[in-house]
Amino acid sequence: MLEHGGRLRRAAQKSGIHLSDWLDLSTGINPDVYPVPLIDPSCWQRLPEDDDGLEAAAAAYYGNDRLLALPGSQAAIQALPGLFLPAAVACVSPIYEEHPLAWQRAGHRLRRVPTLQRALAASTPNILLCNPSNPTAVTQARNAVLDAADQLKRSGGWLVVDEAFADAEPENSLVSLAGGIDAPNLIVLRSLGKFFGLAGARVGFLFGDAEKLKHLREMIGPWAVSHPSRAVATAALADFAWHATARTKLLASSQRLADLLAPLGVVGRTALFCTVRTPLVASHFEYFARRAILTRSFDHYGLLRFGLPGNEAEWQRLATAVHERKVP
């Protein structure tokens, strides 16, 4: 089982610092969660049905009705490799490690490459890409990703793009094209956990080729997304006014975070997290942990990721810690 951010209880137990005293910046989840409406009590009594409005709301939000609702995009990450015959797959790395793990378990041969261009040069049948990248915060230009899909199409290959952090800057997204005439070999994963702050609802979507969606639906089985989660997701996807406000606030907050973290090293940013590139990852991580500030370290790559503080007191607490950090 891979390690992920958000293991706050374990950090509290290890440190002896009470759980309530911690500031958890280890995940890239919007601290201003979508205001969940009251849920109809019948959601707890009846099995979910596909014609309840979720798929229609998702199609309107993402601009694509070639979709499958899932219990989080993690379900697609684990099941998707089984829809392909074992072959070589290039992973633009660093990458969300659940992707290469799932493809390797399904019998595929992994090739880790540092850029999308190198992935194309490797001439593998399939390419995996996170855009924006988790954890590096690098965002590939929309035209470059679309061109990559087109190049792979000519050789019968597939491009799988995880857009879990794309909601705040939709102009870079290719979700509307996935599985369509312009990009039939493009598969895009999306999640409500990050931008909407609804990680606990476990709702995600896969967009792409109709046959792949059909097979995946059969693999996952009926009632994949719970009735209450479907109701919450439908409301969140349809609230376009909230989307616009959230995007403005997140982009401003991420710039503030990037400026704040600059003394620690080279900072990359998405709307939902900033990543510091530094040879002092382990030292920085321990320093912040002693102050009950949980971050996410990627020691092998020299990266330390910070999520967004949720209020002004948290911002000031982080700013003080960064200011007082004495770099060895």
Instruction: Please report whether residue 202 resides in a domain.
Output: yes
Q: Count how many domains the chain has.
A: 2
**Residue 61: which of 161, 167, 139 has the closest Cα?**
167
Do the beta carbons of residue 168 and residue 246 sit within 8 Å?
A: yes
Same domain, 57 and 192: yes
Q: What is the domain-level CATH number for residue 115? A: 3.40.640.10
Q: In 10 A of CB 64, how many CB atoms?
A: 22
Same domain, 142 and 229: yes
pLDDT value for 7: 72
Last residue of a domain, one of 195, 215, 238: 238
Q: Radius of gyration of the chain from Cα atoms?
A: 20
Same domain, 263 and 202: no
Six-digit token string for 189: 């994963």
pLDDT value for 186: 98
Q: What is the domain-level CATH number for residue 314? A: 3.90.1150.10
> Burial of 216 by CB count in 10 Å (0-12 exposed, 13-18 middle, 19+ buried)?
buried
Same domain, 219 and 88: yes
pLDDT value for 157: 96
- 106 contact partners, CB below 8 Å, separation of at least 6: 81, 82, 84, 86
Same domain, 216 and 124: yes
Same domain, 63 and 179: yes
Instruction: Please report whether residue 3 resides in a domain.
Output: no
pLDDT value for 13: 79
Do the beta carbons of residue 37 and residue 235 sit within 8 Å?
A: yes
Conformation bin of residue 130: beta by default, left when phi > 0, alpha when psi is -120 to 50: beta
For the chain, what is the largest distance between any 2 Cα atoms, rounded to a whole number of angstroms? 59
Do the beta carbons of residue 109 and residue 87 sit within 8 Å?
A: yes
**Residue 81: which of 107, 61, 63 has the closest Cα?**
107
Encode pLDDT of 207-246 as tens digits.
999 999 999 999 999 999 999 999 999 999 999 999 999 9
Q: Where are the beta strands (DSSP E) in 116-183?
A: 126-130, 158-162
Instruction: Please report whether residue 94 resides in a domain.
Output: yes
Instruction: Go through the chain and tell me how many residues it has.
Output: 328
- The amino acid present at 1, given as its one-letter code, is M
Last residue of a domain, one of 206, 238, 270: 238
Q: What is the separation of C-alpha 299 from the centre of its chain, rounded to a whole number of angstroms?
A: 20
Encode pLDDT of 74-129 as tens digits.
999 999 999 999 999 999 999 999 999 999 999 999 999 999 999 999 989 999 99
- Print pLDDT tens along the chain (328 aa): 556 665 777 877 777 787 788 999 999 999 999 999 999 999 999 999 888 999 999 999 999 999 999 999 999 999 999 999 999 999 999 999 999 999 999 999 999 999 999 999 998 999 999 999 999 999 999 999 999 999 999 999 999 999 999 999 999 999 999 999 999 999 999 999 999 999 999 999 999 999 999 999 999 999 999 999 999 999 999 999 999 999 999 999 999 999 999 999 989 999 999 999 999 999 999 999 999 999 999 999 999 999 999 999 999 999 999 999 977 6
- The amino acid present at 124, given as its one-letter code, is T
Instruction: Please report whether residue 70 resides in a domain.
Output: yes
Same domain, 227 and 266: no
Instruction: Please report whether residue 127 resides in a domain.
Output: yes
Same domain, 99 and 86: yes
Instruction: Please report whether residue 27 resides in a domain.
Output: yes
Instruction: Please report whether residue 2 resides in a domain.
Output: no
Same domain, 113 and 178: yes
Same domain, 189 and 272: no
Same domain, 210 and 301: no
Same domain, 231 and 175: yes
Domain range holding 254?
8-33+241-324
pLDDT value for 50: 86
Q: In whole angstroms, what is the distance from residue 302 CA to residue 6 CA?
A: 20
Six-digit token string for 63: 């601009």
pLDDT value for 18: 79
